[in-house]
Amino acid sequence: MVTKKKARKNEDFKKVKLKVGKKLKKTTTTDTTIKAKRVVLATQLEEKVETDDNPLSFRGLTLDELCKQMGHFNAKVKMNAIQGLKQILTSRPDLVNVQLRLLVPCVAVHVADASFEPSTRQNLLNLYKILCTASIQAMSAHITLFLSHVLRALTNIVTEVRHLALSTLSVLLDRYPSLCRNHADLFPCFINYLGSSKRLAWNKPGLIDTILNFINIYDINRERHVDPSTLEIRFENEKIEGKSDLKRVFVQNPDVSPFEFGVVSSSKSNAVSPFELPDALLNLANVLAPIISNIVLEDAGGQFMIQGVKLIESIVRGAENQPNDFLLKDFRKQVHGSMSAVRIAISKRHGKSDRFRAAATWILD
């Protein structure tokens, strides 16, 4: 008979029967689980105090917070952030130059946002106008990124996005012509836009003005003037004789970024312009011909007469004064052929056509 007492005594002397080769459980592990009833974030409880260095919007948000909200996925949050930024920047214009590094990457990206309502889009355009009050020196470091966003939006599939991009481009061209001239992709992208079927209609406000601004930044005949002068350089005496100031020769444009030194810089500068390249000018003529012919034929009231005359004059001047026409075979003939639509339109025009004829004399021959 095995009683409980005997069994308890014999517990120590039992032979342990383990499976051969199997692992034993560890008895020395430490349980490190933690439980918490409440987690408090102390920084969220701090009150925000408005100071000169830390302005707040009408909803009590700082500039950093508004820029973060610009990256939100909800369109309404972004709309409120745009309004907040407008309010801060209108009340504190001095922040635009200082905070441009923070503002441009998060604001410029929304030019291509298709989820905005028309009112929000208008607010965004107004915000861009406020941003463009920055000085040329401040904007020169950010114009590349800004223009990349705008040119990308110009190729978007949504039509409203293209219109907003065109308006933004107009503001930039008007405010920073020298900086925009240095962007290598601006000319071909805008030409592609004018040649596509989804551009703004010719008689809508904004298109022709933008085209004129676009041409102005590249038209070198308007700005370039030749001052004939004589310099004598004598190497024997190490002397230069003449009346010219050499300082003015190297500093061509006082408004350009200090990093854009004309002799050393590798980027495009005043030396090269699409108006000096025959193929670029030919593309421009091909693209502008339908627009000019529409102006000549359909604008009977003369509302766009001045703009049309300017367009014709710019193309004619560029073709006549082309210094590199030898690069392209039959350059003048091709330009003349591309403008045949304009020539036909002028002959068919009802109404006053004297100014058009005077401007297009070279084409009509």
Partner 1 sequence: MGKVSKSPGKGEKRIGKVGKKNGKSNAPTEGSNSGKASRFTMSERNLGLMQEIIRKDPESYKEEFLEQFNYFVQTMKLLHLQPEQSRQEMQSLVDSVLFLSGLAKHYPKESKQFSDSLFELLREQGAGLDPEVRMAFCKALVLLRNQDMIDPIILMETFFELVKVEDKVLRKFLLSSISAHLKRVYHKKKDVKMLGKIQNLCFSKMKDSRSIVARAAQLVCIDAFRRKFWRDARTANVIAQACFHKVAKIQVTSMKFFLGSENENGDAEDSDEMDSDAEDNTKTLKEVMTSFRNVKKTRKREKNVERAKKMISKKKKAKKEGRSKECNLMAIQSLYDPQEFVDRLFGAVEAKKMDNFEVRLFKIALCARIIGIHRLHTLSFYSYLHRFLQPKQRDVTKILLYAAQACHEMVPPDTVEQLIRVIANNFVTDRNSPEAMTVGINAIREILSNCPFAATEELLRDLSEYKTYKNKNVSMAARSLITLFRAVNPKLLARKDRGKPQEKDDEDEEYNGFARPKVHDFISGAEILDEDAADGEQGHLEEDGTDSELDVSDVDTDDVDTDDDADEPVAKKKRVEQKSVENDAESDADDEEIEDEEEMDDEEEEIEISDEEEEEIDDEAEEEAVVEEEASEAVEKDPKLKASKNSMDRIMTQEDFKNIKAYQLKKQLIGEKRLKKQMGKGRSQADERIVDEMAEKLELKRSSDGLARLSDIEHFYKKKRQSKEERMADVMAGRADEDYKFGRPKKNGAHVGRTNDQNSKKKVFAMVKNKIRGRNRQRSFRDQQKSLRHYLMRQSGRKPQ
Residue span binding partner 1 (CB under 8 A) among the ranges 37-45, 155-163, 168-176, 224-232: 155-163
Q: Which of 112, 186, 288, 319 binds partner 1 (CB under 8 A)?
A: 112
Q: Which of 92, 129, 152, 317 binds partner 1 (CB under 8 A)?
A: 152
- Beta carbon of residue 193, minimum distance to partner 1 (angstroms, whole number): 9
Two tokens at 177?
């012509």
240 pairs with which residues across the strands? 233
- Beta carbon of residue 189, minimum distance to partner 1 (angstroms, whole number): 7
CA proximity to 57, closest of 25, 29, 92, 26: 92
DSSP class of 41 = -
Number of residues that bind partner 1 (CB under 8 A): 46
196 lines the binding site for partner 1 (CB under 8 A): yes
- Beta carbon of residue 341, minimum distance to partner 1 (angstroms, whole number): 5
Contact 173, 187 (CB under 8 A): no
Q: ∠152-157-158 over CA atoms, to 5°?
A: 105
- Beta carbon of residue 13, minimum distance to partner 1 (angstroms, whole number): 14
Two tokens at 165?
């991009």
Q: Which of 87, 133, 156, 203 binds partner 1 (CB under 8 A)?
A: 156
d(C-alpha 156, C-alpha 162), whole Å: 6
Residue span binding partner 1 (CB under 8 A) among the ranges 45-53, 185-193, 204-212, 220-228: 185-193
189 lines the binding site for partner 1 (CB under 8 A): yes
- Beta carbon of residue 156, minimum distance to partner 1 (angstroms, whole number): 6
d(C-alpha 290, C-alpha 340), whole Å: 10
233 lines the binding site for partner 1 (CB under 8 A): no
120 lines the binding site for partner 1 (CB under 8 A): no
Q: Which of 3, 11, 18, 301 binds partner 1 (CB under 8 A)?
A: 18
d(C-alpha 169, C-alpha 285), whole Å: 21
Give the DSSP per-residue string, 77-104.
Answer: HHHHHHHHHHHHHHH-THHHHHTHHHHH
d(C-alpha 64, C-alpha 54), whole Å: 10
Q: Which of 5, 8, 23, 225 binds partner 1 (CB under 8 A)?
A: 23
d(C-alpha 107, C-alpha 109), whole Å: 5
CA proximity to 331, closest of 313, 311, 315: 315
Closest to partner 1 by CB, 229 or 266: 266
* Residue environment code for 300-324, b if the CB has 16+ CB neighbours within 10 A, otherwise e: eeeebbebbbbbbebbbbbbeebee
- Per-residue interface string for the shown chain with partner 1, residues 282-321, x marking contact by CB under 8 A: ----x---x--x---xx-----------------------
Residue span binding partner 1 (CB under 8 A) among the ranges 30-38, 94-102, 323-331, 337-345: 337-345
- Beta carbon of residue 17, minimum distance to partner 1 (angstroms, whole number): 5
Closest to partner 1 by CB, 191 or 220: 191
Binding to partner 1 (CB under 8 A): which residues in 65-84? Answer: 71, 73
Torsion of CA 347, 349, 354, 356, to 10 degrees: -80
d(C-alpha 27, C-alpha 49), whole Å: 56
- Beta carbon of residue 75, minimum distance to partner 1 (angstroms, whole number): 10
185 lines the binding site for partner 1 (CB under 8 A): yes
Give contact residues for partner 1 (rule: CB under 8 A).
15-21, 23, 71, 73, 105, 109, 112-115, 144-145, 148-149, 151-152, 154-158, 185, 189, 192, 195-198, 201, 286, 290, 293, 297-298, 340-341, 344-345, 348, 350
